[in-house]
């Protein structure tokens, strides 16, 4: 009954969903209008050229794709003939999939969770298993998969206390979700216990750690970081080394706070450089307008015309990790405002220390450890951010040590990919 009510409510508001995705989001980003039939389960069968059933990975957007990439590539290495379909919800997620995997995997949008769309999707692709990253727990997708005896593996699973309270408010629907999970691989015991309290059978729960810690810069990335450092770390007028900080994955309101902090830093360190990377592409032009109205000089990364400006607007996709690597220190966005923060490990893996605001609930499985091991510091405001930046710009040894501690934290917590692979391997169908 709970799922019937949920599905009915979803169908009732379907015109609003379509209007939001196709009209509102599509106006800002044409990618939302492309492949729109996939939102209703019309997945092209031409995606698969063999009769082997695909393994499906669902990654909501860019962050999940980046987290899953090392895992999926390890799986491809172990099973070269395995058909893999990666689904996502956003155009930026889709671009990241194509960037990371080229034509070695199939790619599509996950259908909206209408029962007819999900049933059509599963009937067309006939997956051998469904791997869901983190907490993308769609009731119809999971319930119908369970009914069709398709294993549902929730991997890299996390569940904050706030999210748990939300699921408890729809207990009957949550029970359906928990019953549909075949196996759950969680970040830690606390996350696992929250799922169990929601109704997951204890025997289905495994603690594997977070695969986001299993991030190792590639040779290609390290070469690019070296080039970026040569480009940005020296003042072309006097050859002095610059203090470079990256503000990654920033949001509206936060953009202004970041620019204000940089102006305070410049009073003490006139040679400092800020590289600001907005979280969403539709914010690129808006941040450019903010910069135009400010006293700061800036260039756009996409135009490749840097000439010693005070700010670089990183208006490109897929470069953020390498930009972090070129910095002295990073600030991770979504944390000075109540957005819950973003992944600090992309910076830490390059031995670049992290500054964060107070709102980090999306990464409660990462920040406590990172701060405990002194690879990150927390500030409560843009004024505190400016003070911390000034401190690091004047004490390069402390800044360097922060980066070393951040990298040590990453290394200490690695190993989740192999544990997760061991679980996935149990649900792969034998070769024909």
Please identify which residue in the block is written with the tokens 């907490």.
Answer: 135
CB 54 within 8 A of CB 106: yes
Q: Which of 231, 188, 200, 172 is nearest to 365 (CA)?
A: 188
Residue 394: C-alpha distances to residues 264, 274, 379, 388 (Å):
14, 16, 18, 10
Q: Does residue 313 contact residue 298 with C-beta atoms inside 8 Å?
A: yes
Helix (H, G, I), strand (E, B) or coil at 238: coil
Could you say which DSSP state residue 241 is in?
A: B
Specify whether the CB–CB gap between 101 and 77 falls below 8 A: no
Secondary structure class of 277 (helix, strand, coil): strand
> Contact at 8 Å (CB) between 368 and 300?
no
For residues 391 and 381, is the Cβ–Cβ distance under 8 A? no
Task: Answer yes or no: 346 catalytic.
Answer: no
**306 vs 304: CA distance, rounded Å:** 6
What's the distance, Cα to Cα, between the start and end of the chain in Å?
Answer: 40
Indicate which residue of 64, 134, 136, 319 is catalytic. Answer: 64
The DSSP code sequence of 74-100 is HHHHH-TT--EEEEESSHHHHHHHHHH
**Per-residue DSSP letters for 322-391?**
HHHHTSSEEEESSTTTTT----SHHHHTTT-EEEE-S--GGGTTTHHHHHHTTSEEE-SSHHHHHHHHHH
Residue 362 buriedness (CB in 10 A; 0-12 / 13-18 / 19+): buried
CA dist., res. 105 & res. 137, Å (int): 23
In the sheet that holds 55-58, the strands lie side by side as: 106-109, 84-88, 55-58, 129-133, 152-157, 183-186, 205-207
Residues annotated as catalytic are 64
């Amino acid at each position: 009954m709970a799922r019937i009510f949920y599905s009915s409510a979803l169908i009732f508001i379907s015109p609003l969903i379509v209007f939001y995705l196709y009209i509102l989001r599509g106006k800002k980003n044409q990618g939302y209008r492309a492949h729109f039939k996939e939102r209703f389960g019309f997945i092209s069968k031409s995606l698969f050229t063999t009769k082997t059933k695909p393994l499906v990975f669902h990654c909501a957007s860019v962050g999940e794709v980046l987290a899953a990439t090392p895992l999926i590539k390890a799986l491809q290495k172990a099973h070269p003939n395995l058909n893999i379909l990666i689904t996502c919800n956003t155009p930026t997620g889709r671009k990241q999939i194509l960037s990371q995997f080229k034509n070695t995997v199939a790619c599509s949008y996950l259908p909206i969770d209408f029962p007819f769309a999900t049933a059509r999707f599963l009937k067309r692709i006939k997956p051998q298993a469904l791997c869901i990253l983190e907490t993308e727990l769609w009731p119809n997708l999971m319930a119908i998969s369970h009914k069709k005896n398709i294993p549902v593996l929730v991997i890299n699973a996390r569940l904050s206390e706030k999210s748990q309270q939300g699921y408890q408010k729809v207990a009957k629907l949550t029970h359906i979700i928990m019953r549909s999970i075949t196996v759950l691989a969680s970040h830690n015991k606390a996350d696992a216990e929250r799922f169990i309290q929601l109704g997951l059978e204890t025997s289905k729960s495994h603690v594997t750690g977070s695969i986001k810690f299993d991030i190792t810069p590639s040779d290609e990335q390290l070469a690019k970081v070296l080039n970026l450092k040569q480009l940005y770390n020296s003042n072309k007028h006097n050859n002095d080394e610059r203090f470079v900080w990256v503000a990654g994955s920033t949001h509206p309101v936060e953009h202004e706070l970041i620019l204000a902090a940089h102006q305070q830093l410049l009073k003490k360190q006139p040679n400092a450089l800020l590289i600001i990377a907005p979280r969403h592409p539709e914010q690129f032009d808006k941040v450019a307008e903010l910069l135009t109205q400010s006293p700061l000089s800036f260039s756009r990364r996409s135009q490749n015309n840097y000439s010693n400006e005070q700010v670089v607007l990183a208006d490109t996709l897929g470069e953020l990790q390498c930009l972090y690597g070129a910095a002295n220190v990073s600030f991770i966005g979504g944390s000075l405002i109540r957005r819950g923060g973003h992944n600090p490990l992309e910076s830490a893996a390059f031995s670049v220390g992290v500054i964060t605001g107070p709102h980090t609930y999306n990464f409660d499985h990462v920040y406590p450890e990172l701060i405990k091991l002194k690879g990150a510091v927390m500030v409560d405001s843009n004024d505190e951010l400016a003070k911390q930046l000034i401190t690091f710009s004047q004490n390069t040894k402390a800044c360097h040590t922060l980066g070393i501690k951040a990298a040590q934290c990453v290394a200490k917590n690695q190993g989740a990919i192999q544990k997760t692979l061991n679980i996935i391997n149990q649900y792969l169908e034998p070769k024909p």
